[in-house]
Amino acid sequence: MNILSVVTARVFLFIAMMIMAAGVRAQLRTAYHDEIEQWHKQRIKDLRSENGWLNLVGLYWLSPGKNSFGSGPGVAVRFPEGTMPADAGYFELIDATVRMVVKNGVNITVNGKPVQEAVVFDKDSARETQLGPLKWNIIRRGDKFGVRIRNLESLAVKDFKGIERYEVDSAWRISAVLEPSVPGGIAIKNVLGQTSTVSSPGKLVFTLGGKRYSLDALDDNGDELFIIFGDETNGVDTYPSGRYVYVKNPGPNGATILDFNKAYNPPCAFTDHATCPLPPPQNLLPLAITAGEKNYGTHK
């Protein structure tokens, strides 16, 4: 074989290898894009589900003692008009226990069974209560106890058309390392103005554009970390108060993946009846994260 033949063979081999590499990269991009699309489909399914955020129609904070409820004017906890009698009974809050007393003829169930009287919340455990398409439960936020109401036939669910997003871009799938923090947790404020100390395993440290950034992570009591963050897209393309993202727990070396393509809106973007935690000041990034969900609706 002459020198020209050898050179030609090597050139063709190089071209073939480049074509194969390009094909592999294309397959990886397609697989990653499909992964994000599947994640987004599940996200939409969860929002539309019975326990999603779209069907919330009310949140009423209870005062100590008796709190009347029904669909008429003057009650402390007012359900949608026509969904139940004007005065259907009362909730009684004593210490951290909520008891519900129902008037005769009102067919309310607790955990699927008709009741006249029942404890619906104690020791941070809530029971599921229902009348027709309405479901409600007691939530606790610090020293506040509230009745959160869902309408399983809510028009907000029927009219939901999805969430606008940035284009999927693998450049926003970033390697990160968890650096352990000093024990004691971090302060997290919610939209009610309450501040609580939440356990944090440390900071996720990552590099973008040659610059080092970090985000305080919160324990999720599972196989993921929870991140509440803000960035320069907030109030422009994305929800003004920031967004959330989950991250897989790091391995023994602290390494994990921070994927901003899975950044999503807090519940408060979809309803006024949520109590969303807000990004701590140290999690406000001085750059625009043009990935994940964009803003939805006009809620506070």
Domains annotated for the chain, with CATH where assigned, are 56-158 (2.60.200.20), 163-283 (no CATH)
Pairwise CA distance, residues 115 & 132, whole Å: 14
Give me the mean pLDDT over the 13-41 stretch: 72
Pairwise CA distance, residues 11 & 1, whole Å: 15
Distances (CA, A) of 228 to 43, 265, 279, 296: 17, 10, 5, 17
pLDDT digits (tens, 9 = 90+) for 107-146: 999 999 999 999 999 987 789 999 999 999 999 999 999 9
pLDDT, position 210? 94
Confidence bin at 18 (pLDDT 50/70/90): low
Q: Which two tokens stand for residue 218?
A: 């919160």
Predicted model pTM: 0.86
Q: Which two tokens stand for residue 276?
A: 């969303």
- Whether pLDDT at 31 is above 80: yes
Pairwise CA distance, residues 250 & 191, whole Å: 30
Contact indicator for 53, 47 with CB cutoff of 8 Å: yes
